[in-house]
Amino acid sequence: MLSLQSPLSQDLPPFLLLLSLVGCFLLLGELLTRKFSVSPLVVRKVLHLCMGVVTFFMPAYFHSNFYPAIAALLFMGLGAFSLKAGLLKALHGEPAESTNDEEAGPVVSYGPVLFPLAFLLLVLALWDSHIWIVQVAMLVMGVGDALAALVGKASGSSHIEHMTRSPKTVPGSLAMFVSSLVIISLSLFLFQGAFSGGLVGHPLWEILALALLLALLATAVEALLSSGFDNLFIPASIAYPLYLIDVNGMVTLESFLIGGLFALLLALFSIKVKFLNNSGATATFLLGTNIFGVGGLVWTVPLLTFYLLSSVLSKLGRKRKAKFDLVFEKGSQRDAGQVYANGGVAWIMMVAFSLTKDPYIFFAYLGTLAAVQADTWATEIGTMWPNAKARLITNFRNVPVGTSGGVSIPGTSASFFGSLLICSSSVLMNVKWINQVGIIQSLLVIGMAGLISSLVDSFFGATFQAQYFDPIREKVTERTHSIAPDGSKVKNERIKGYDFVNNDLVNTLCAISGSVVAYFVVQNLATF
């Protein structure tokens, strides 16, 4: 729970000293950038590193979280104003924040706003006995992210393919990993006396294994996110597991390590068999570590049911589906956007449950997995089925199979059946909440949640999702550009919908609708 403590008079002098120190950092950065033509990226990342060190030592000088929180708010305001007005070149000069190499093009960076926001949230939640978690998380973000950018820029290495719009390099990510591993390992030994629960009494190798896993998580976040969002989520990737293990008691250290190892192996396997590209595998590692490591088998089996069945199904009937490759926005090899769209809501449900232990959230979790399973199966079966007839969901006119918003009897039937399999996997796990609601009732709720969500997906696909005309092949497509015979890229003309409403957004709305339906229906069926 977030709480702001009362201000203490002895904290005022260090607060004023902090403001003066940061002010000097910024003035020096502007001087180096504007007068001595030092690279804005280098200046910004050095400032980033310095602030990570400053936040690490702040608890030694403050007795209450009041003034640290006020300082964070002031720096958030300064960062937002500078972003809007272009005031401080040292904060917002090109290339943008959150790269471990130079940007391919101008990208807005929210790093100077999200850095103090991350610190604010952590000090409001974990001050006093758990402040050591804040110190570790902020130091990893401040030092590791800065070194990733500086080493990545200096190396001149080629970029990691299919990762993010902000190019990443292997040396930059390696610098992030090594620095994070060293910081976390040393910190876990330094703060042993502050452990209060699940980290107490573990052997050395388990503590080192935890440091290794947390370093991998932080590196994956840095590699995957751009526009400064890693400034928020790198600290979260460190603080959240440490809180659950040592404070919350939701998960044991051993189960978290096993879950992380399994998620890593699954991500590597997915790249090997081409289920996922690099960004998709990285996102799957992050999602899987959370769900496998925190939720255990009860939460893992339904997710694996969706992942494995849908991945295999997307590979079947490849020849029959080949004619749709230029219609759909993306191919069968999923990227991070598709992982977020299909699993992001389930990920949020797992986090919410770990912090609240509300059993209704488990059904929302099943509902969102049923939704994305239903949508995937409707698309895959609908396009594979011989001589299937599709109709637009809004007016029931005949449309070609594969059209956004088109529904067919085989596809709709498959969506309901696929949803039932999600709930059936939980039935096989003998989940106590399923038994309390009733097996038949649970199957019907989750099955209908998936079916309704797939229809919601079709509705948004027919009305708001952007569709374009491919002038080269003279077809309607979800793709914004086409490739001409000479290899040049040709921009397709939008004929309906909105540019920002792509397939990933529609899938996310589908996933949300499944969780909402399941959550509120089950609330009316049972009281836990």
List, for residues 309-359, the tens digit of each pLDDT value: 888 887 775 555 555 544 444 455 678 888 998 999 999 999 999 999 999
Q: Tell the residue number behind the tokens 């081409």, with chain if given.
A: 274
Instruction: List Cα–Cα distances, 498 to 320, 404, 464, in angstroms.
Output: 30, 13, 6
Picking from 234, 247, 195, the residue whose alpha carbon sits closest to that of residue 1 is 247
Crossing angle of helices 253-272/296-315, nearest 10°? 0
pLDDT, residue 322, reads 53
Beta strands 475-477 and 467-470, pairing class = antiparallel
- Of 37-46, 158-167, 383-392, 393-402, least confident by mean pLDDT is 158-167
Give the Cα separation of 218 and 286 in Å (integer). Answer: 9
pLDDT, residue 503, reads 85
Q: What is the dihedral of CA 461, 466, 470, 475, to 10 degrees?
A: 20
233-252 average pLDDT score: 94
pLDDT above 60: residue 402: yes
Instruction: Find out whether 270 and 291 touch, Cβ atoms under 8 Å.
Output: no
Instruction: List Cα–Cα distances, 442 to 364, 423, 456, 510, 513, in angstroms.
Output: 12, 7, 21, 20, 17
pLDDT, residue 328, reads 47
Q: Tell the residue number behind the tokens 């990285």, with chain if given.
A: 282
Give the Cα separation of 233 and 144 in Å (integer). Answer: 13
The amino acid occupying position 264 is L
pLDDT above 60: residue 225: yes
The H or E element spanning position 306 is helix 296-315
The H or E element spanning position 376 is helix 360-384
pLDDT above 50: residue 441: yes
Q: Count the residues in the chain.
A: 528
Average pLDDT, the chain: 88
Dmax (CA) for the chain in angstroms is 78
Percentage with pLDDT > 90 across the chain: 59
Residue 189 pLDDT level (bands cut at 50, 70, 90)? very high
Give the Cα separation of 140 and 217 in Å (integer). Answer: 11
The two three-digit tokens of residue 169, written as one number: 């390099």
pLDDT, residue 319, reads 56
437-446 average pLDDT score: 95
Which residues in 367-382 are b (16+ Cβ under 10 Å) and which e? bbbbbbbbbbbbbbbb
Give the Cα separation of 288 and 263 in Å (integer). Answer: 5
The two three-digit tokens of residue 346, written as one number: 């389930």
pLDDT, residue 108, reads 67
Per the DSSP assignment, residues forming a β-bridge with 489 are 483
Give the Cα separation of 301 and 515 in Å (integer). Answer: 17
Give the Cα separation of 280 and 264 in Å (integer). Answer: 12
Give the Cα separation of 104 and 490 in Å (integer). Answer: 20
pLDDT digits (tens, 9 = 90+) for 96-110: 434 444 434 445 678
The H or E element spanning position 483 is strand 481-483
Per the DSSP assignment, residues forming a β-bridge with 180 are none
Give the Cα separation of 188 and 208 in Å (integer). Answer: 9
Give the Cα separation of 362 and 352 in Å (integer). Answer: 10
pLDDT, residue 107, reads 56
pLDDT above 90: residue 477: no
